[in-house]
Chains A and B, each alone.
Chain A
Amino acid sequence: MSATRSTRRAEFLAGCRDEAPLQLGVVPFGMLYGIGALAAGMPAWLAQLASAVVFAGAAQLVIVQMLTAAAGALPIGLTASLLNLRHVLYSASVADYVRHLPRRWRLLLAYLLTDEAYAVAILRYQTTSAAATKDDTTSDARDLRHWYFLGCGFTLWATWQLSTAAGLLFGATIPAEWDIDFAVPLTFIALLTLLLRERAGQAAALVAALGALAFATLPYKLGLVAAILLGLLAGVWAARFARDGK
């Protein structure tokens, strides 16, 4: 029993350790979100709470940017929900590894299933031996990789909360005339250049950008939702066109 307990702790700590290097990339986003949320007029306590409730960096930055643009609740909710849709793919990807766990574990791991935690945890599941899971009667007791997953998720969660708090503290000292909210679209530009490696993605981005201007007059910034949907269609169509053309 004590051997199992120390193995659990070892798995958890290994998850924390392997997740740690990614925190260098997470901290600036968390701080930027905190700073941007204040600039967009969010109360600090609510901005901090959102980091726990939503717990999705890109979506939180999108919410901040749309609040800055005075968008309505419906367009913001639709855009953020669309942006987070990829988590269904992560959920499907880890499902086979965690479905034997009790529900409280699955609820907890689902809550912690972010881009960065997924990236590290799935690697562990795919590269370590699944020998322990071969025997169905003892698999639950011997496969302790969910403790590793928990270590990854917990590390990212803690970093996200703390960097949000740091951004809120720091942001409160920045005067409004410094245009610090401009850092959010600059972040989107940086992420775009990282994401746009293929033609179909470029088509999606271009059409969405043009659509944002074409539908600018729609109320509550609903034009942004229309532009993103149109961009998605363009991306899917361009991917099909490229495939058929080869």
Chain B
Amino acid sequence: MSTAALIGLLVAVGLVTFLYRYAMIGLFASRNLPGWLHALCRHIAPASFAALTASALFVHGGEVAIDLAAPKPWAALVAALVAWRTRSVLATIGTGMAALYLLKFLL
């Protein structure tokens, strides 16, 4: 992506985000948001993170490639186990990166 396009993208996202934040404080009088919006917002973060993680691990150049000899999926599995046991973001990143380096060295 060109730098100009990236600037446009970031300004657009920033503007949309500001409008969300200002929406009920300054734009709309009604404070009662519909129930479906609450329900939807609960699932947006898990769905986004899951889709991006799956894509980062198993999609390369627009093609699905499930390669059992690749180090990243296994490092991600180790990280997921650590995340599940410790519930610590830093421990997850640390062991995930360490597992990646070890697997790249071994495989």
| B contact patch SS | helix
Given A107-B26, A195-B46, A212-B52, also A84-B16 (CB < 8 A): yes
Contact present for B10 and A188 (CB under 8 Å): no
| A contact patch SS | helix
Interface size, B (range):
35 or more
A residues near B79, Cβ cutoff 8 Å: 186, 189-190
Task: Give the segment of A4-12, A51-59, A119-127, A131-139 that binds chain B.
Answer: A51-59
8 Å CB contact of B12 from A77, A109, A209: A77
Q: Does A79 contact B (CB under 8 A)?
A: yes
Residue of B nearest to A53 (CB): B14
Q: Does B11 contact A (CB under 8 A)?
A: yes
Given A189-B53, A204-B47, also A67-B26 (CB < 8 A): no
- A interface residues, Cβ below 8 angstroms from B: 25, 28, 32, 42-43, 46, 49-50, 53-56, 58-59, 62-63, 65-69, 72-73, 76-77, 79-92, 94-96, 98-99, 103, 106-107, 109-111, 113, 179-180, 182-196, 200-202, 204-213, 216-217, 219, 221, 224, 227-228, 231-232, 235-236, 239
- B interface residues, Cβ below 8 angstroms from A: 1, 3, 5-14, 16-18, 20-26, 31, 33, 36-59, 62-64, 72, 75-76, 79-80, 83-84, 87-90, 92-93, 96-97, 100, 104
